[in-house]
Chains A and B, each alone.
Chain A
Amino acid sequence: TQLLEQSPQFLSIQEGENLTVYCNSSSVFSSLQWYRQEPGEGPVLLVTVVTGGEVKKLKRLTFQFGDARKDSSLHITAAQPGDTGLYLCAGARGNQFYFGTGTSLTVIP
């Protein structure tokens, strides 16, 4: 059992569609980060959310931290092929990050 469960595990959509990825836990985190990882590379940070209920936008990406700081969501509007990759959430507890199970997104042109 992983501390952070992501859903869906795999997602294949057409260019232009919208999608939401969820990151859920029964534990409380002091902060939560979202990373994107492309094949053959390390994860790259997209955003950090700290306050319960916080919403951050990064162009077509919208991130939300749950009110209780136990979950988060990533919404992508009008997905593009360049959005293809593995999306990872990571929750901070103490001095350690716990990564989620990952969501592999494929955007078909």
Chain B
Amino acid sequence: DTAVSQTPKYLVTQMGNDKSIKCEQNLGHDTMYWYKQDSKKFLKIMFSYNNKELIINETVPNRFSPKSPDKAHLNLHINSLELGDSAVYFCASSHGTSLYEQFFGPGTRLTVL
């Protein structure tokens, strides 16, 4: 069983479109995250949810909106996609924050044309 899964694995779309990336974890964790990894492999946190409540919201354009329907899911919706949104997006989960191991999904490679 996959601990943290993301769909789709690859996403190619045109500028201006709206798209969603889904994330599910079956580890029973109460904290989930979205990260963006750029072309230089730098991994930057975007959002963090704890028990379905937003606890971290970095300086991310409001075109990005996370949705957590329950503790096991954290989806990422992106409106009006721009070229600069092209990156690999990782979902992760942990049992808590700070001291706990983060389990990462396999990533979603988003390419905006």
Contact = CB atoms under 8 A, between A and B. Distances in A.
Interface of A: 2, 30-31, 33, 37, 40-45, 48, 50, 86, 88, 92, 94-99, 101-102, 104
A2 B102 contact: no
Contacts, number: 64
Contacts of A37: 41
CB-CB nearest 7 A-B residue pairs: A42-B104, A95-B97, A92-B98, A99-B43, A45-B101, A102-B41, A43-B104
B10 to A, nearest CB: 11
Interface residues of B, number: 24
Nearest to B101: A45
B102 A40 contact: no
Contact of B56 (A2, A95, A102): A95
A55 B97 CA distance: 22
